């Protein structure tokens, strides 16, 4: 479990912060009331996501606790009752995550959001592109303080290569003035393969004037930073751009996923499935379309506690189904108890074995619902004859599903064009 250390001599404030961190994030919280207690905790175990520190403790009135925590390589978030320019500069020079004023209990919400961000950051890749090694190191240090996964490139050409190796990169910091490919050209090149809704680009330059900002934006950047920048501004811009990508991803997920089972929905299946099928057809790769239907599904709802039991079966089945396929395949719920799979690079023989194993797995994996155990079986229809039309393959898979049902259910039927040539549709 993710752990957070709180070092705070005010019991009421420590209790308030602990309550929100536990309830809102589900983290384990360890509280130390002073420097000595914090030292004892860290000597036993320093595996904390972050430490929330009171700047002025009875046995550490000058911020000694900050140095203690950083010495154990634990990211530090500092609570302070007062703030001056010199104190702010001292914070950033020590490479803390952030500081939070103690002037309002509402600031605890900011701390909770900051901790949630820190938990995500190790899986968040940020690419720093600049021909200056010292600048890349300085920016990389800022990003590492917030636990980001940092990538570096010394030129536009190298940046494109790194992006090719790390297509899941979330944000790119692009310097303008670089030999060869400048920042504008690199931004335009990145945008050929990465949209603004999946990858944020922040242009950076130390040149005077305001002409570079609009040119970066027009080239495809999401934002712009002028060097030298304050650490606070840097972190705020990075966070805002990443949160925007996450909000877009959430909206897309709501539009593409089935609300109950969390596999893809019918709309996404037909849209993305048609594109995937066309790609596989051009490459000459085999493809399988499967229609899967729960047998006698109505009995599940009729014999147990209403639709809740049926929902539990649908969720369990979807989870099991999704776990057996690759990210490149498409698993969707396209009707009430009907699911569809589009799997690439699987021959007909392989598909028959795979879905027969799945059929047996569903049959032998009961679903717990309260005091009851729900057992169910499925019928499956397969089409492995690649067509230019997804509708054609679905039609044949649906015919095979109907055949499975008519032959007694709980079986797999594979479309064979030679055998089925004379059979009416």
The whole-number pLDDT of residue 171 equals 99
Look up the CATH superfamily of 264-414.
Reverse transcriptase/Diguanylate cyclase domain (3.30.70.270)
According to DSSP, the β-strands at 200-205 and 223-226 are parallel
Position 41 confidence tier, pLDDT thresholds 50, 70, 90 = very high
What percentage of the chain carries pLDDT values higher than 90?
85
- For residue 391, the model assigns a pLDDT of 94
Least confident of 251-265, 330-344, 384-398: 384-398
- For residue 210, what pLDDT band results from cuts at 50, 70 and 90? low
| pLDDT computed for residue 411 by the predictor | 97
DSSP 297: H
pLDDT beyond 60 at 425:
no
- Cα-Cα-Cα-Cα torsion 268, 322, 347, 402, nearest 10 degrees, comes to -70
Q: How confident is the model at residue 423 (pLDDT cuts 50, 70, 90)?
A: low
Distance CA 226, CA 117 (A): 24
pLDDT of residue 420: 63
- Average the pLDDT over 33-41 and give the result: 97
Q: What pTM was estimated for this model as a whole?
A: 0.83
Radius of gyration for the chain, computed over Cα atoms and rounded to the nearest angstrom: 28
Q: Is the dihedral of CA 176, 177, 178, 184 positive or negative?
A: positive
| Whether 238 contacts 126, CB under 8 Å | yes
Q: What's the rounded mean pLDDT across residues 165-193?
A: 96
Worst-scoring range by mean pLDDT, 174-178, 359-363, 366-370? Answer: 366-370
pLDDT digits (tens, 9 = 90+) for 66-93: 999 999 999 999 999 888 899 999 999 9
Q: 174 to each of 145, 219, 225, 233, how far by Cα in Å?
A: 20, 12, 10, 16
Q: Where are the domains of the chain?
A: 3-118, 124-253, 264-414
Query: What class has domain 3-118?
Result: alpha beta
What pLDDT digit, counting tens, does each position of 311-333 carry?
999 999 999 999 999 999 999 99
Residues carrying an active site annotation: 337
| pLDDT surpasses 80 at 393 | yes
Distance of CA 83 to the CA centre of its chain: 36
- Which is nearest to 227 in space by CA: 175, 151, 153, 172? 175
Superfamily covering domain 124-253: Response regulator (3.40.50.2300)
Closest listed residue to residue 266, CA positions, set 339, 206, 195: 339
Look over the chain and give the mean of its residue pLDDT values, rounded to a whole number.
93
3-118 and 124-253, same CATH topology: yes
pLDDT tens readout for residues 99-150: 999 888 779 999 999 999 999 999 999 999 999 999 999 999 999 999 999 9
Q: Give the confidence band of 422 by pLDDT, cuts at 50, 70, 90.
A: low
């Amino acid at each position: 479990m993710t752990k957070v250390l709180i070092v705070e001599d005010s019991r009421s404030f420590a209790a308030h912060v602990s309550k929100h961190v536990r309830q809102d994030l589900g983290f384990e919280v360890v509280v130390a009331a002073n420097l000595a207690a914090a030292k004892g905790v860290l000597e036993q175990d320093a595996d904390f996501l972050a430490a929330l520190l009171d700047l002025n403790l009875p046995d550490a009135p000058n911020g000694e606790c900050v140095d203690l925590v950083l010495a154990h390589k634990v990211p530090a978030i500092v609570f302070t009752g007062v703030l001056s320019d010199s104190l702010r500069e001292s914070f950033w020079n020590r490479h803390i995550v952030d500081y939070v004023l103690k002037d309002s209990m509402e600031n605890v919400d900011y701390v909770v959001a900051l901790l949630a961000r820190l938990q995500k950051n190790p899986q968040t890749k940020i690419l720093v592109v600049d021909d200056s090694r010292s600048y890349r190191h300085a920016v990389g240090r800022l990003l590492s303080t917030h636990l980001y996964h940092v990538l570096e490139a010394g030129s536009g050409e190298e940046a494109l290569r790194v992006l090719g190796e790390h297509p899941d990169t979330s944000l790119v910091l692009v310097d303008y003035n670089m030999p060869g490919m400048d920042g504008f050209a690199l931004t335009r090149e990145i945008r050929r393969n990465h949209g603004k809704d999946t990858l944020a680009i922040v242009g950076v330059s130390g040149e005077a004037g305001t002409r570079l900002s609009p040119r970066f934006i027009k080239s495809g950047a999401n934002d712009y930073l002028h060097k030298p920048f304050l650490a606070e501004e840097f972190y705020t811009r990075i966070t805002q751009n990443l949160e925007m990508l996450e909000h877009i991803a959430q909206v897309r997920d709501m539009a593409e996923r089935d609300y109950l089972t969390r596999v893809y929905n019918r709309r996404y299946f037909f849209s993305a499935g048609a594109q995937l099928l066309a790609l596989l057809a051009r490459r000459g790769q085999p493809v399988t379309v499967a229609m899967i239907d729960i047998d006698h599904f109505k009995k599940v709802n009729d014999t147990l506690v209403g639709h809740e039991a049926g929902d539990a079966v649908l969720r369990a089945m979807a989870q099991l189904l999704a776990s057996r396929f690759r990210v490149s395949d498409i698993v969707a719920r396209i009707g009430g108890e009907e699911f569809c799979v589009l799997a690439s690079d699987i021959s007909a023989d392989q598909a028959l074995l795979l879905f027969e194993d799945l059929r047996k797995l569903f049959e032998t994996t009961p679903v717990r619902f309260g005091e009851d155990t729900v057992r169910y079986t499925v019928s499956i229809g397969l089409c492995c004859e690649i067509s230019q039309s997804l509708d054609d393959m679905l039609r044949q898979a649906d015919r095979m599903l109907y055949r499975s049902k008519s032959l007694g259910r709980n079986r797999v039927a594979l479309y064979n064009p030679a055998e089925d040539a004379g059979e009416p549709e």
